[in-house]
């Protein structure tokens, strides 16, 4: 059996012994953090729960249905027994959070999601909860397993049961009530309408706490571009069965999904392992296997020479943050190409970096010649988009034949001259935030469309796209998508992206392949933010804090 654990656990060694703390990974347990040893104090995030498999795969809803069916066929378990198993886990999760004094109202639909809800109602009643059930069956047709659970429930004297076939008289719900939403699950493939839409609007207008089974009713598992937002349940908690749904990772769905946890219902390990998918979560153990140990006799030349082209008048800070992050991420040597106005600032704030000064006083105007002796080049933080800089950027791409990372104004310059995509070295890493991506691919209606267009661009240009945000996502030229689990809202602050660029640059210069460099960087970047959040809080967190906590994050993933 897989176990549901808080995303966050690792054992760290302190100067006076062993301290167990919690960090994204395949671990459990944990203890209070001891900030007398901040290096070892790995933060506990108020995050969702994950089930850790050999690889944490994400599947579209129709594939999950196939894994369900495989489990039934190959593991000698009837579908009704699998539903019972799911209901046991759902009931346990509810009972862990709410005591028996909380009145429970269950809304069940006619399909298997409704069957789950009916079974949960039966089990909660058996635990002594006051339960009222509304089974919505307007067409007089229930799934076989829903029908079986209806029969079991009808025989219980302590459950107030109502089967709604035409007229629905809503119950009087208060803020003390817990409402379990089991109307529709991941099988839904079109917006709700008619009576079910009215029920959803009633749920959303009620003061009750809403818990949805698997998915909030009305929300589809992947694409909701053309869904009717008013016809989607707004859950406070979603108890998802076995896998997160892709929709959980899209910002516009947060108001419907609320907090979400995963419940293990024991689907076939074999089916999970053998079923291919383009979507995965990057987790601690994956990242650890990618980190290369350092040889005792290694020297700075073994870890690459990186070139960072960054900064302009009034934007020296971006180049400083990126340079500091690069140096804190293991690069052997770093040269920063900057305009004259930034030279003294860089040499005072980042003494470990060399500065190559552009001829212009306030912006980048002359391409760096002969980039072949660098192992990687990063362009963009604080660069500006004055005409001379945009022209210099275009000419710079003609020179670069080593791994390249583009961010910020380099992406904006690329958007102004989209034909330059053809000049990017294969395997280049682009690190846009959503608006920067849209300048390259066009307006997107939602996160699903944005991800789809990012995949199209990655295939077209043969580049890696690290789309920044909550659950930052790396898209590969093959269309694979790696979702990141580290990070927090405190990182929504100017300069965070500059730090990430420096980290990717450092890893590319050390010889990591583009995919590995981007996956490692986005994970450790978020982890540094989690360290900083624990010590400084979300509101006060700055991009400089991310750099300050990088040593602790690197230590955590390297041990």
Three-state SS string over 445-482 comes to CCHHHHHHHHHHHHHHHCCEEEECCCCCEEECCCCCEE
Q: 431 — phi, psi (to 5°)?
A: -120, 65
Q: How far apart are CA 222 and CA 507, in angstroms?
A: 33
Does 480 have pLDDT greater than 60? Answer: yes
What share of the chain has pLDDT > 90, as a percent? Answer: 89
Computed on alpha carbons and rounded to an integer, the radius of gyration of the chain in Å comes to 26
Distances (CA, A) of 322 to 80, 307, 368, 529, 557: 55, 11, 18, 15, 21
Cα gap 501→318, rounded to integer Å: 10
pLDDT of residue 176: 97
12 token code pair: 């760290």
| pLDDT band for position 130 (cuts 50, 70, 90) | very high
**What is residue 211's three-state secondary structure?**
strand
Q: Name the pLDDT band for 492 (thresholds 50, 70, 90).
A: very high
| Cα 392 to the center of its chain, rounded Å | 35
Q: Which of 84, 548, 94 is nearest to 328 (CA)?
A: 548
Per-residue model confidence (pLDDT) at position 4: 30
Q: Cβ(270)–Cβ(242) under 8 Å?
A: no
CA distance 138 to 111: 12
Across the chain, what does the average pLDDT equal? 91
β-bridge mates for residue 104, sequence order = 131, 178
Asked whether 406 and 380 are in contact (CB, 8 A), the reply is yes
pLDDT of residue 51: 43
pLDDT at 152: 96
Mean pLDDT computed over 235-240: 98
Q: Tell me the three state secondary structure of residue 512.
A: coil
- Name 82's bridge partners: none
Q: Band of the pLDDT at 76, cuts 50, 70, 90?
A: confident
CA 421 to chain centre: 27
The predicted-structure confidence for 200-234, as pLDDT tens digits, reads as follows 999 999 999 999 999 999 999 999 999 999 999 99
The b-or-e profile of 67-90 (16+ CB within 10 A means b, else e) is: bbebbbeeeebebbebbbbbbebb
Length reported for the chain: 559
Tell me the pLDDT band of 119, cut-offs 50, 70 and 90: very high
* pLDDT, tens digit (0-9, with 9 covering 90-100), for 416-449: 999 999 999 989 999 999 999 999 999 999 999 9
pLDDT given at position 485 = 94
C-beta separation of 458 from 479 below 8 A: yes
Q: Is the pLDDT of residue 360 over 60?
A: yes
Considering the entire predicted model, what is its pTM?
0.90
| Both structure tokens of 280 | 């995965």
Q: In what order do the strands lie in the sheet with 279-282?
A: 57-58, 279-282, 481-484, 473-475, 464-467, 429-430, 404-406, 376-379, 305-309, 333-338, 354-357
Q: Which of 20-24, 372-376, 485-489, 518-522 has the lowest average pLDDT?
A: 20-24
* β 178-182/104-108 pair status: parallel
Report pLDDT digits (tens) over 10-68: 333 333 333 333 333 322 222 233 333 233 333 333 344 444 444 489 999 999 999 99
Closest CA to 405 of 329, 315, 342: 329
Give CA–CA dist 68/267, Å, rounded: 6
Task: Answer whether residue 349 shows pLDDT above 50.
Answer: yes
């Amino acid at each position: 059996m897989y176990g549901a654990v808080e995303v966050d656990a690792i054992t760290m060694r302190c100067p006076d012994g062993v301290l167990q703390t919690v960090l994204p990974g395949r671990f459990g347990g944990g203890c209070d953090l001891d900030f007398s040893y901040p290096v070892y104090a790995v933060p506990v995030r108020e995050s969702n729960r994950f089930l850790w498999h050999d690889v944490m795969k994400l599947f579209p809803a129709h594939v999950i249905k196939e894994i369900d069916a495989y489990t039934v066929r190959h593991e000698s378990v009837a579908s009704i027994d699998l539903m019972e198993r799911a209901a046991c886990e759902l009931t346990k999760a509810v009972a862990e959070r709410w005591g028996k004094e909380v009145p429970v109202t269950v809304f069940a639909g006619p399909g298997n999601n409704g069957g789950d809800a009916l079974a949960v109602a039966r089990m909660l009643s058996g635990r002594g909860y006051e339960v009222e059930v509304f089974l919505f069956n307007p067409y007089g047709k229930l799934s076989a397993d829903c029908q079986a659970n209806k029969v079991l429930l009808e025989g219980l004297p302590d459950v107030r049961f109502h089967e709604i076939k035409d007229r629905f008289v809503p119950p009087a719900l208060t803020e003390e009530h817990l409402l379990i939403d089991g109307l529709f699950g991941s099988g839904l493939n079109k917006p709700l309408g008619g009576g079910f839409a009215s029920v959803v609007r009633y749920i959303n207008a009620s003061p009750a706490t809403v818990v949805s089974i698997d998915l909030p009713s009305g929300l589809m598992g992947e694409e909701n571009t053309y869904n009717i937002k008013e016809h989607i349940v707004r859950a406070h908690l979603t108890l998802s069965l076995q896998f997160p749904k892709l929709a959980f990772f899209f910002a516009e769905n947060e108001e419907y999904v609320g907090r979400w946890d995963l419940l293990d219902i024991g689907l076939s390990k074999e089916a999970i392992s053998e079923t291919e998918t383009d979507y995965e979560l990057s987790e601690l153990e994956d990242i650890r296997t990618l980190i290369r140990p350092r040889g005792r006799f290694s020297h700075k030349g073994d870890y690459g020479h990186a070139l960072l082209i960054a900064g302009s008048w009034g934007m020296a800070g971006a180049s400083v943050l990126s340079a500091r992050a690069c140096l804190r991420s293991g690069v052997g040597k770093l040269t920063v190409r900057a305009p004259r106005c930034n030279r003294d600032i860089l040499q005072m704030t980042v003494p470990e970096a060399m500065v190559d000064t552009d001829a212009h006083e306030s912006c980048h105007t002359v391409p760096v010649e002969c980039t072949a002796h660098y192992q990687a080049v990063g362009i963009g933080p604080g660069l500006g988009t004055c005409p001379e800089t945009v022209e210099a950027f275009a000419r710079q791409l003609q020179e670069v034949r080593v791994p390249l990372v583009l961010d910020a104004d380099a992406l904006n310059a690329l958007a102004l001259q989209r034909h330059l995509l053809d000049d990017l070295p294969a395997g280049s890493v682009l690190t846009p935030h959503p608006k920067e991506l849209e300048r390259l691919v066009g307006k997107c209606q939602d996160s699903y469309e944005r991800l789809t267009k990012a995949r199209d661009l990655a295939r077209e240009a043969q580049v890696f796209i690290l789309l920044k945000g909550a659950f930052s996502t790396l898209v590969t030229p093959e269309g694979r998508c790696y979702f990141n689990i580290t990070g927090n809202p405190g990182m929504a602050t100017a300069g965070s992206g500059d730090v990430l660029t420096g980290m990717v640059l450092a890893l590319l210069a050390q010889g990591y392949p583009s995919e590995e460099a981007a996956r490692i960087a986005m994970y450790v970047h978020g982890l540094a933010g989690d360290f900083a959040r624990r010590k400084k809080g979300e509101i006060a967190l700055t991009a400089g804090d991310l750099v300050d906590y990088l040593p602790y994050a690197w230590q955590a993933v390297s041990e």
